[in-house]
Structure 1
C-alpha cells in the first residue's frame, strides 16, 4: 500500500484510501484558496465590464455615435466583455455593456465602433 502526502502541508495522509488531506485544517485551506481563485476571476470580469461601461458612456452622450476603435482601445476598452446582445433587422449584432451598445464596422479601411444606447423597441422579439 502506497503512502499519500497531503497536497497542502506534505504530511502523510492516514485513514481511508480515498482521503486527500491530512486534516480538516488542510482541507479548509484548500477550499479557501479555490474560492479565492474563482472570486478573482469574477472581480476581473466585473472590473472590465465597469471600465467598458464607463468608456461607452463617456463617448456616447447623444445616444448614437461612430468612433474609431483605436480611441476606445487606448482607454482600456475590451470588446470581448459584454453583458448581452441585440440583432437588428439587417442582421447586425450589437453587443451591449448594460445599457450601452457597440457594433464594430470597417468604414473607409478603418475599424470603427457604432455606439448606441438601449431603446425600448430592442426588447421586443
Structure 2
C-alpha cells in the first residue's frame, strides 16, 4: 500500500495509511484546518441567530410572537438552526441552541425559550 500523502511504500500493518508520523500529522492538521473554516462560518451564523432571538425575548420572557418581517430586517437566517422537533400536532420547531421558533402563520413566528437542563 502507498502513503496517502507522499505515495511512498507503507511498511508494517496492513491497515496503515501513512508511511511516517510526519505524513500522518500533516494529513490530520490539514483536515482540521479545512473543517475549522466551514464550522467557523456556520457557527457565526448560528450565534447571530441566537443573539437576535435573545434580543427579542429578553431575559424574562419564555415565548412571544413576532412578525417574520422584523426577524428578516434583523438579518435572521431561517435556514440555519441546530436541530428541530415535531410536536404532537405536527408543527415543526426549529432550534438554535436553547431558543426555538415555529412558523405560526405566513406572517408571524412564535419564538420560545427552552429551559436548559444540565
- TM-score, normalising length: structure 2: 0.63
The 5 A counterparts of 1:92-111 are 92-107=91-106, 111=107
- SS of 1:13's equivalent in the other structure is coil
Over aligned residues, Cα RMSD in angstroms? 3.4
1:24-52 Cα offsets, whole Å, 9 max, x none, are: 31221111111222333443343322211
Instruction: Point out the structure with max Rg over C-alpha.
Output: 1
**Contiguous gaps of at least 5 residues in structure 1:** 120-125
**1:59 is the counterpart of 2:46:** no
Relative to total residues, which structure has the larger strand share, 1 or 2?
A: 1
Does the CA-based 8 Å contact 1:101-1:116 persist in structure 2?
yes
Aligned pair count reads 110
Does the CA-based 8 Å contact 2:81-2:94 persist in structure 1?
no
